[in-house]
Amino acid sequence: MTVEVTEIRYVVDPGGRITGNTRVPGDKSISHRAVILGAIAEGNTRVSNLLEGTDVLATVAAFRKMSVQIEGPESGEMFIRGVGLHGLSVPSEDLDLGNSGTAMRLMTGLLAGQCFDSRLTGDRSLSRRPMRRVIDPLILMGASIESTAQGTPPLKVRSVERLSGIRYVLPVASAQVKSALLLAGLYSNGETCIEEPRPTRDHTERMLAGFQYRCERTDSTVCLAGGGRLRGTEIDVPADLSSAAFFIVAATIAATSRLRLRSVGINPTRNGVIEILRSMGASIETENEQEICGEPIADIVVRSAPLRGVKVPADLVPLSIDEFPILCIAAACAAGTTTIRGASELRHKESDRISSMVAGLRGLGIDTEEFADGMSIRGGDFDGGVVNSFGDHRVAMAFCVAGLRARSPVEIRDCGNVVTSFPGFIRTASSCGLRINELR
């Protein structure tokens, strides 16, 4: 049975400076993939610094229902006894993925190739999110998947004799769709190739290589052949750049601030937020760069800096899609106007992030124009007031950062889902200088 998140409000006192040396939780995207690939690998996989947010824990619970033995997580440590590509057992009940769109889409691809039926469900928010972009290409591969008439969960994935590899051109750049098709490709006859209109995060490809499964990339196309084997490994999950972005912007817009964020993943398919902020004038440096488990990481050092409005380049949009809520706060603190276009994907997140951010910014006195695929934001001064996060964790955390530059307190409503991606957010934020009170 799905458990809805408790109603929580945040009240942010205005002002403050951001200082310190901290590490944010592990990367959510990499944590999901570590659990998924570890479960279907042969042998054992040890994961450290796993994100213990509710989204990732829902993925863990789903594999336990399919008879995968998983120890932990405890303090970010997890041990997975892999069952191999064909070792999953039929689940005795629905696989409830809570609020996680990533888990829903990736698991649909994985389950499309199993020899048993399964049913994927989620909470009220996830049950409104579109899944046709994953379902349609999987059906082209021979999958049997049923959804609501609107193409939303719950999803019924039925057993088929065998999937067939396809060559598929993504109509919209999406790492989740690409990853779902690659996971289905593991169970397919022949080769599966996905061509992207623009580069998206490549965590799945990198992690497949870490599990010794051959995956080839040439230009904008990634291919793999079915019928191989994954071998258990050790994975150290880098700190999440999406979570770090809230503090990068906080230290940028708060006067006399300096902050070090340790061991953050700086995958080139994820660092669009850093490039955009630097183009706006942010002072962001990377130190101690290294590579762990195929993923580049570094310490990120941020100092206060005046920002200027920019037109966000189209090629950076898919590389920063999850960071746009906090980029909107940076834009509101910049001199001039910032324009975001080509970001219609934002309408299909935990909330419609275009309308959610426009409503919140206007409610705090910022001049904002909404487009079908983005928005323009004229920099100004934040008033205090009440903002609805619409149950979206990234919207909630973004408006917490806005409180640093507000004239009076900012109240953010419906913040319960922050734990899906950033457990301990209030504690970390408070240690760096944000003044947030949690009310229930």
Residue 336 makes CB contacts below 8 A (sequence gap 6+) with 308, 309, 378, 379
Please, which pLDDT band fits residue 6 given cuts at 50, 70 and 90? Answer: low
Query: Which tokens go with 159?
Result: 């057993």
Rounded Cα gap, residues 214 and 52, in angstroms: 29
pLDDT tier, 225 (very low <50, low <70, confident <90, very high otherwise): very high
- Using DSSP, state whether 213 is helix, strand or coil: coil
Percent of the chain with pLDDT over 70: 99
Q: Give Cα 83 to chain centroid, integer Å.
A: 27
As a whole-number percent, the residues of the chain with pLDDT over 90 amount to: 87
pLDDT digit string (tens) for 183-207?
Answer: 999 999 999 999 999 888 899 999 9
- Smallest CA-to-CA distance from 208 within 187, 238, 179, 237 is with 179
- The reply to whether omega before 199 is within 30° of 0 (cis) is no
Residues 355-378, mean pLDDT to the nearest whole number: 97
In the 8-state DSSP scheme, what is residue 77?
E
Q: Cβ neighbours of residue 75 under 8 Å, at least 6 residues apart?
A: none
Mean pLDDT within 165-178: 93
Domain boundaries, the chain: 9-26+239-439, 28-225
Residue-wise pLDDT for 76-108, tens only, equals: 999 999 999 999 999 989 999 998 999 999 999
Average pLDDT over residues 158-183: 94
- Exposure string of 286-295, with b = 16+ CB inside 10 Å and e = fewer, is eeeeeeebeb
Structure tokens at 340: 């975001």
Could you give the angle at the alpha carbon of 163 between the alpha carbons of 160 and 168, nearest 5°? 135
For residue 322, indicate whether it is catalytic. Answer: yes
Which pLDDT tens digit goes with each residue over 139-151? Answer: 999 999 999 999 9
Helix spans in 152-240 (H) = 175-185, 203-210
Q: Which CATH superfamily is domain 28-225 in?
A: Enolpyruvate transferase domain (3.65.10.10)
9-26+239-439 carries CATH number 3.65.10.10: yes
Residue of 115, 59, 62, 119 whose CA lies nearest to 86: 115
- Distance CA(245)–CA(22), nearest Å, equals 13
User: With bands split at pLDDT 50, 70 and 90, how would you rate the model's confidence at 4?
Assistant: very low
pLDDT digits (tens, 9 = 90+) for 18-35: 999 999 999 999 999 999
Catalytic residue among 236, 240, 322, 392: 322
